[in-house]
Amino acid sequence: MPEGDTIFRAARTLHRALAGKPVTAFESVLPALNRIDEDAPITGRTIEQVKAVGKHLLIHFSGNLILRTHMRMNGSWHIYRAGERWQRPRRDMRIVVSTADFEAVGFTIPVAEFITATRLSKDPNLRRLGPDVLSDAFDPAKVIENLRSRRAVEIAEALLDQRVLAGLGNVYKSEVLFMSAVHPFARVSDLSDEQLSSIVETARRILKVNVSDGLELMTTYGGMRKTTHRSAPTERLWVYGRARLPCRRCKTAISVRKQGADARLTYWCHQCQRHP
């Protein structure tokens, strides 16, 4: 599932390829988008910017129009040079935004809508978001305040609540809690301010590292997340996806369990992350 870092990288890549350029073609299989395109054509508008807000990706067009997309579990944006062969079948296409040089293709995107800037500022999907972990205006004190308002919630579940902290997903949830030596099933009320500060600081630091300017990926998700200092593909993460394998620190077998209403998998080390 795309998390905040992958949406951030996708927005940055799309912005660099598309910003400042006129749209030469627009295509979608989504009726709601096509109705807007028929009334106020997207072709001919200039792409002003592409940005990420938490897990939302926003493409700003001239004429006060914004395309908001959310990837949920399986959606992704690809960027191709004009005429380049797509790496996914056309049946998975939901949106195409073309310029003279590039095609931005949204595959299996479940949430997409056109919205004005005025309506965007009032959009409940965005207004309810907590501080964006990758924003320059990130406010760690507000995140801790949000966490404290959910005292009875298990910390791993609280971190997935985008109203608490926008941009953190299931992979980083497990990784950040391991790095902070916090048991994922501890309730927020069990944790000290120092522990919460460590969790928030670690989340911010790790996601910033994973969007550092470097190789840009063609797709929204490239599977390149890294929380350890190791580069080998099988050694890039501390606990996520490593059930029953030895902990990289203490050799205890990594545990895994479904957690929360959505039964998301949580990974942790019993020895390194003691329950309060």
Start-end of H helices in the chain: 4-18, 31-39, 117-122, 124-127, 140-148, 155-160, 170-179, 193-209
Catalytic pick among 9, 51, 55, 236: 55
Q: Which DSSP category does 78 fall into? A: E
Catalytic residue among 3, 103, 157, 175: 3
Tokens of 173: 């949830």
Active-site residue among 12, 187, 208, 264? 264
Q: Has 55 been annotated as catalytic?
A: yes
For 8-28, give one letter per residue: b (16+ CB within 10 A) or e: bbbbbbbbebbbeeebeebbb
- Return the axis-axis angle of helices 4-18 and 193-209, rounded to nearest 10°: 30
| Beta carbons of 98 and 34 less than 8 angstroms apart | no
User: Are 86 and 105 within 8 A, CB to CB?
Assistant: yes
- Measured in degrees and rounded to the nearest 5, phi and psi for residue 189 equal -65, -20
CA distances from 196 to 146, 148, 182, 240 (A): 11, 9, 9, 20
Catalytic residue among 2, 94, 157, 242: 2
The answer to whether residue 3 is catalytic is: yes
Establish whether 31 is a catalytic residue. Answer: no
> 23 near 43, Cβ under 8 Å?
yes
As a whole number of angstroms, the distance between CA 226 and CA 257 comes to 22
Give catalytic residue positions: 2-3, 55, 264
